[in-house]
Amino acid sequence: MNDDFLNKKLQERIDANALRSLKLIKGPNDHTTIDFCSNDYLGIVKNKLIEKEISPDLSHGSTGSRLLSGNYELIEKTEKFIADFHEGDVGLIFNSGYDANTGLLSCVPQKNDVIIYDQLSHASLRDGIRLSFATAFSFLHNDVNDLEKKLSSVSVDAQKFVVTESVFSMDGDFAPLLEIAALCEKYSAALIVDEAHATGVIGEKGEGLVQKLNLQKKCLARIHTFGKACGAHGAIVLGSEKLKRYLINFSRQFIYSTALPASSVAAIAASYNLFPAKAEERNHINQLISIFKNSNIKFKILPSETPIQIVIIPGNEEVRKIAHTLQENNFDIRPILYPTVPKGQERLRIVMHAFNTEEEVRKMIHLLM
């Protein structure tokens, strides 16, 4: 089969110095590089904390979808446990954060409904929106005035949805959820919040930004993913019993996927059992954030109170050059290139972890001076 038709788009990426490729890593216990890249915020993966908590005898296969042979006691108990942890009514586990976001947004909004989403929403949210039959448009990032302008322009008879993240993965900033929730109440809009990068990190127990602000009753749905601070895999959609029943019946990503096996579900539950005891780790991360934010590096640092710290270095070639210097000094820090981010907003995405030291942060800062 001749695949030359692929050349044009690939060449466009090469010409823009934006061609992606996979970089082999040795794993979380590779001590030759200093991890300022991964989403293992609390070090649960690096320190093998889950493995110490789960039985090696658990199944690595579930044999089918949840509606066939793949529904079992542990997965239902874990859904209830996580829903209780997040002060939600019920939860439904999906195989990934991508599945949860696309599965929710592709089936809940209907034709003639309107979705208004933050313009920096994750690709999985936007893909789910695209798969729906609803009308959709964005509001300026974290701009509640623009959000209200958009909400006020929609017919009062239309079912409205507002979609945002609580912590944005490429900027590291918080959504103004108090203001957004108030607008949703004012304009009778259903609020959907992706808590992927807040889970385990934000709040006294790692419960996320929605709970920290006591907004859990203001949301139609919250999505918590397990592949970041949890150090596991999968995701859960939290909401009402009616929403759960609806997703079981209409979410194709749930209906047609083989269920997560017991070994994966036990790992998720073990991770959630660890969260309340990780206050010291969360405080240490905050200390590292403070050191970095108060440094005098020569590049622009975006405002962020989260482990995700962003250094703006415009131009794919330039940001790659700086990243290469850091990598040569054993710092695993990756450049984020156009088209992942807009031209002129290319950046280093520096992630602080509980296992990073103050000395490591200061050495990294020195290389950016």
pLDDT tens per residue across all 369 residues of the chain: 889 999 999 999 999 888 888 877 765 556 678 999 999 999 999 999 998 888 888 899 999 999 999 999 999 999 999 999 999 999 999 999 999 999 999 999 999 999 999 999 999 999 999 999 999 999 999 999 999 999 999 999 999 999 999 999 999 999 999 999 999 999 999 999 999 999 999 999 999 999 999 999 999 999 999 999 999 999 999 999 999 999 999 999 999 999 999 999 999 999 999 999 999 999 999 999 999 999 999 999 999 999 999 999 999 999 999 999 999 999 999 999 998 899 999 999 999 999 999 999 999 999 999
Q: How far apart are CA 293 and CA 154, in angstroms?
A: 40
Residue 107: which of 251, 322, 273 has the closest Cα? 251
CATH architecture of the domain covering 73-275: 3-Layer(aba) Sandwich (3.40)
Taking the CB of residue 194, how many other CB atoms lie within 10 A of it?
30
Distance (Å, whole) CA 117 – CA 274: 33
Strand order in the sheet with 334-336: 300-301, 308-312, 347-351, 334-336
Pairing of strands 235-239, 189-194: unpaired
User: First CA to last CA across the chain, in angstroms?
Assistant: 51
The pairing of beta strand 235-239 with beta strand 221-225: antiparallel
In three-state form (DSSP H/G/I as H, E/B as E, the rest C), the secondary structure along 317-365 is: HHHHHHHHHHHHCCEECEEECCCCCCCCCCEEEEECCCCCCHHHHHHHH
Contact 326, 333 (CB under 8 A): yes
Top CATH class of 31-48+278-367 equals alpha beta
Residues 6+ apart with CB under 8 A from 224: 82, 86, 195, 196, 199, 208, 235, 236, 238
Report d(CA 27, CA 39) in Å as an integer. 13
Q: How far apart are CA 365 and CA 299, in angstroms?
A: 11
pTM for the model stands at 0.93
pLDDT at 26: 63
The answer for 225, left when phi > 0, alpha when psi is -120 to 50, beta otherwise, is: beta
User: What's the confidence (pLDDT) of residue 29?
Assistant: 58
SS (H, E, C) the chain: CCCHHHHHHHHHHHHCCCCCCCCCCCCCCCCCCEECCCCCCCCCCCCCCCCCCCCCCCCCCCCCECCCCCCCHHHHHHHHHHHHHCCCCEEEEECCHHHHHHHHHHHCCCCCCEEEEECCCCHHHHHHHHHCCCEEEEECCCCHHHHHHHHHCCCCCCCEEEEEECECCCCCCECCHHHHHHHHHHCCEEEEEECCCCCCCCCCCCCCHHHHCCCHHHCCEEEEECCCCCCCCCEEEEECHHHHHHHHHHCHHHHCCECCCHHHHHHHHHHHHHHHHCHHHHHHHHHHHHHHHCCCCCCEECCCCCCEEEEECCCHHHHHHHHHHHHHCCEECEEECCCCCCCCCCEEEEECCCCCCHHHHHHHHHHCC
The domains of the chain are located at 31-48+278-367, 73-275
